Amino acid sequence: MPESSYRFACEEHMDVVIDGIVDDFAVAPTILPWPDPTVRAESPAVCHWCGKTADYVLTWTTEAETPST
């Protein structure tokens, strides 16, 4: 099953956070203004890079590892 993931970003660091997602997961995230009613965030909505209040949420899906047994 694909899993939805997300990271938050402030306006200043959106590009940095996007680059990090591209590097870490090899996907291009969807950019949404924060708050967004479709994203259920369990962590505080702060910039992944600097910890300030988030302005955007970046979401993407990854294929979960399939257990071999």
Interaction site with Zn ion (CB under 5 A): 10, 13, 47, 49-50
Question: Residue 25 or residue 49: which is nearer to Zn ion going by CB?
Answer: 49
18 by Cβ neighbours in 10 Å (0-12 / 13-18 / 19+) ranks as middle
C-beta of 25: minimal distance to Zn ion in Å?
Answer: 19
**CA–CA separation, 8 and 64 (whole Å):** 21
Minimum gap (Å) between residue 31 Cβ and Zn ion? 14
Least distance in angstroms from the C-beta of 7 to Zn ion: 11
